[in-house]
Amino acid sequence: MVLRIGFLGGTGIEAKGLALRFASAGVPVVLGSRSADRAKQAAADCNDLLGKPSVEGLPCQEMISSCEIIFLTVPYAEAGNAVTAYQANLRSHHVLVDVTVPMQFVHGHAVYLEQSGKSNSEVLSQVLPPGIPLVAAFKTLPAAILANLEIELNCSLLVCSDSAEAKNSVMAAASLIPTLRVLDGGPLSVARTLERMSVLAINLNRRYRQKGARFKIAGI
């Protein structure tokens, strides 16, 4: 069964890029926003690019009740607030996917923001209602590449979680995206590495004046 994928923070560039990739792979996608109008507009933008009405835009509460896999595509510092705001809508069948990267630019250089040695995903997992599994993934996939369907992703996706069932659901959905090699990255604590890899990719992009730095694991 193909699960429906929703985005909390669905009007941002990372969400729209991921929505395009999933929708073009035939996965039902819903973009969620705190504003019904912004959600509709974001979905219309995606559907224009897809050439078919595959993406729906809904207020966050309705998006959550209509989807099984919920991506958190909000700014990293808002992820806890966003989960808290909608926790009453979350049910035990939901899986949350955290794509956030805690970083800031200092003198044009991306700097990883340490949080007592924990990843943002681990910090977030502590505010989730009991029984809602969290998966860390897609942190190293740049929005600029995701949004251009003419570019093959041709890279690896590491998926991390302490819930094997949740990790398998996300890996199965991600495997539908062409040229994305999906790998089990291990427990949620590996998000500490993924978040730093994302910051490394951003700095490589800036140094080499590119937009698409991403990672490909060889040998597996």
Ligand X SMILES: NC(=O)c1ccc[n+]([C@@H]2O[C@H](COP(=O)([O-])OP(=O)(O)OC[C@H]3O[C@@H](n4cnc5c(N)ncnc54)[C@H](OP(=O)(O)O)[C@@H]3O)[C@@H](O)[C@H]2O)c1
User: What residue ranges bind ligand X (CB under 6 A)?
Assistant: 9, 11-15, 33-35, 38, 73-76, 78, 81-82, 85, 99-101, 139, 141-143, 198
Please state the closest distance from residue 117 (CB atom) to ligand X, in A: 19
Residue nearest to ligand X (CB): 12
Identity of the residue, 81 or 148, whose beta carbon is nearer to ligand X in the bound complex:
81
Identity of the residue, 47 or 198, whose beta carbon is nearer to ligand X in the bound complex:
198
Identity of the residue, 103 or 165, whose beta carbon is nearer to ligand X in the bound complex:
103
Please state the closest distance from residue 100 (CB atom) to ligand X, in A: 3
Long-range contact set of residues 50-57: C-beta below 8 Å, sequence gap at least 24: 50/20, 50/23, 50/24, 50/149, 54/23, 54/24, 54/28, 54/29, 55/19, 55/20, 55/23, 55/29, 55/30, 55/31, 56/28, 56/29, 56/30, 56/31, 57/10, 57/30, 57/31, 57/32, 57/33
Identity of the residue, 2 or 140, whose beta carbon is nearer to ligand X in the bound complex:
140
| Token representation of residue 132 | 């809602």
Please state the closest distance from residue 190 (CB atom) to ligand X, in A: 16
- CA nearest neighbour of 115 among 50, 42, 195, 186: 195
Please state the closest distance from residue 214 (CB atom) to ligand X, in A: 10
